[in-house]
Structure 1
Amino acid sequence: MTELHTGGCQCGAVRYRAEGEIGCPHVCHCRMCQKAAGNYFMPFGGVRYENFTLTRGQPAWFQSSATVRRGFCGQCGTPLFYDGGHDHISITLGSLDDPQSVKPELQTNLARKMKWFGELNTLPHDRRMDTSAEDDAEIARSSCQHPDHDSEGWPPEVRS
């Protein structure tokens, strides 16, 4: 059976399907990825163009260098794709409906990795900052975030 991965942006304006294995799942620490993600790293995995389909909407594109363009949702800004012009497109692993399904196998550009990154598991946990079941229920009632599965329609009804 062929693996099937679906995903998309936070608001649901852009959705995609990737058939088959997601190759070279990795975490990139380069400065360009940090800026594109607004984070300390960006996780990617590649899928061959012939196994990739946009199922809703079109991404906006930013030409981040002479050889690379980055796709994102023009509505909500979610980073979605890295297109280096080879035989595949890389998708951001966090945009998968099931991000747990693809585990990074390597890291790149370690010279830019945050020096303290290995210490994250030693940071204290403040449970007071966790969301409660009541908070989660309120968020679910008012959320405009697209669910982690394909849906019939978009956009959702506007909630007050």
Structure 2
Amino acid sequence: MTQIHTGGCQCGAIRYRAEGEIGFPHVCHCRMCQKAAGSYFLPFGGVLYENFKLTRGEPAWFRSSDTVRRGFCRDCGTPLFYDGGHDHVSITLGSLDAPETVKPDMQTNLECKMPWFGELDGLHHEPGMDTTPEQAAEIAKGSRQHPDHDTQHWPKTASELWI
């Protein structure tokens, strides 16, 4: 049976569908990916163009180099795609509806990896800083984040997204 992966941006303006296995799932530590994600790394996996389809909206594209363009949602800013001009598009694994289903099996560009990254699991954890189930329920009531599944229409009205 063919694997089906769906995903999209935080606000729901961009949705996509990928069929089959997501290839080369990896974490990239390069400086361009750090800047694009606003984070220390960016996880990606590749999908052949013929197995990839936008199901809602059109991404904006930023040409981050002569050979690469990066797709993102122009409304909420979510980084979604990396297109290096080959036979596939790479999707950001965090934009999948079920990101836990694709585990990275490689790292790239280690020269830019934060030198302390391996120490994260040893950081102090303050349980009082975790979101309680009651807080999560309250946040969910007013959340404008698209749910982790396809919807007929999102948002109910455009005014729900912006203040």
TM over 0.5: yes
Distance of 1:74 and 1:156 partners within structure 2: 19
Amino acid at match of 2:24: C
Please tell me whether residue 106 in structure 1 is matched to residue 106 in structure 2.
yes
Q: Which residue of 2 aligns with 1:142?
A: 142
The answer to whether the 8 A contact 1:46-1:90 is kept is yes
1:65 corresponds to: 65
Tell me the amino acid that sits aligned with residue 29 of structure 1.
Answer: H
C-alpha distance in structure 1 between counterparts of 2:154 and 2:118, whole Å: 40
Structure 2, unaligned runs of 5 or more:
none
Say if 1:61 and 1:69, in contact at 8 Å, map to a contact too: yes
Mapped pair 1:132 → 2:132: yes
TM-score (norm 2): 0.96
Normalised TM-score (structure 1): 0.98
Between the two proteins, the alignment pairs up a number of residues equal to: 160
- The C-alpha deviation readout for 1:22-64, integer Å capped at 9, x for no partner, is 0000000000000000000000000000000000000000000
Q: Is the counterpart of residue 49 in structure 1 residue 49 in structure 2?
A: yes
Kept in 2, the 8 Å contact 1:26–1:107? The answer is yes
Task: Judge conservation of contact 1:144–1:156 (CA < 8 Å) in 2.
Answer: no
Q: CA RMSD in A?
A: 1.1
Matching residue of 1:17: 17
Equivalents in 2 of 1:146, 1:95: separation in Å? Answer: 11
Identity %: 73
SS at 1:77's partner residue?
coil
Deviation for aligned residue 1:100: 0.4
- Partners of 1:129 and 1:73 lie apart in 2 by 30
Tell me how far apart the structure 2 counterparts of residues 156 and 71 of structure 1 sit (CA, whole Å). 25
Letter in 2 for 1:38: G
Task: Measure the CA separation in 2 of the matches of 1:156 and 1:10.
Answer: 15
SS at match of 1:119: helix
Map of 1:151 onto structure 2 = 151
Q: Does 2:75 align with 1:75?
A: yes
Displacement after TM superposition at 1:155 (Å): 1.6
The residue number in structure 2 matching 1:39 is 39
Contact 1:59 1:74 in 2 (8 A): yes
Separation of aligned partners in 2, 1:156 and 1:6: 20
Q: By how many angstroms is 1:156 displaced?
A: 3.1
Regions of 4+ moved over 4 Å: none
Query: Structure 1: which amino acid aligns with 2:107?
Result: Q
In structure 2, how many angstroms separate the alpha carbons of the residues matched to 1:133 and 1:4?
Answer: 30
